Amino acid sequence: MSRLRGIAAFLWEMCPPHLLLPLGVARFCAVYLGLQALAGSDALVLGPRAVTGTASLILFVVLARVYDELKDADTDRRLAATGDPRTASRPIVRGIVDEADLRALRNVLIVALIALQLPGAAPLPLAGFALALAAFWLSSNWFFWPAVERHLLLALLTTSPLTLFVLAYVATLFAADFGAGRLGASTALLLFGLYAPMLAWETSRKVRVPADETDYETYTKTLGPRRALALPITFALVTVALLASFAVRVGLPAPFFWALGSAGALFVGACLAFVIAPSRRRAHLEPFAQVFLLVADFGLAIGLACAFSVTWAA
Q: Could you tell me what percentage of the chain is helix, strand and coil, using 3-state DSSP and rounding each to the nearest 5?
A: 80, 5, 20
Find the helix packing angle between 225-250 and 254-276, rounded to 10°: 170
Predicted structure pTM score: 0.93
**Over the chain, what is the mean pLDDT?**
91
Instruction: Give CA–CA dist 23/40, Å, rounded.
Output: 25
Instruction: Give CA–CA dist 242/290, Å, rounded.
Output: 18
Angle, alpha carbons 164-181-171 (nearest 5°): 20
Number of Cβ within 10 Å of residue 59's Cβ equals: 18
pLDDT at 120: 78
What's the pLDDT band for 149 if we cut at 50, 70, 90?
low
Cβ-based burial of 214 (10 A; exposed 0-12, middle 13-18, buried ≥19): middle
Number of Cβ within 10 Å of residue 125's Cβ equals: 24
pLDDT at 145: 55
Question: Across the strands, what pairs with 46?
Answer: 312
Give the DSSP letter string of 33-44. HHHHHHTT-SEE
Task: Kindly give the pairing relationship between strand 43-46 and strand 309-312.
Answer: parallel
In 3D, which of 271, 248, 272 has the Cα closest to residue 260? 248
In 3D, which of 172, 177, 207 has the Cα closest to residue 187? 172
pLDDT digits (tens, 9 = 90+) for 197-230: 999 999 999 999 998 888 888 899 989 999 999 9
Instruction: Give CA–CA dist 111/118, Å, rounded.
Output: 11
User: Does position 1 have pLDDT exceeding 60, yes or no?
Assistant: no
pLDDT digits (tens, 9 = 90+) for 49-97: 999 999 999 999 999 999 989 888 888 888 888 877 778 888 899 989 9
Instruction: Give CA–CA dist 35/134, Å, rounded.
Output: 24
pLDDT at 45: 95
Find the helix packing angle between 185-204 and 161-178, rounded to 10°: 150
User: Does position 284 have pLDDT exceeding 80, yes or no?
Assistant: yes
pLDDT at 89: 85
SS3 46: strand
User: Does position 153 have pLDDT exceeding 90, yes or no?
Assistant: no
Question: For residues 172 and 128, is the Cβ–Cβ distance under 8 A?
Answer: yes
User: Does position 141 have pLDDT exceeding 80, yes or no?
Assistant: no
Give the residue ranges of DSSP H helices in 82-224: 85-88, 91-94, 99-117, 123-142, 146-149, 152-159, 161-178, 185-204, 219-223
Instruction: Give CA–CA dist 103/107, Å, rounded.
Output: 6
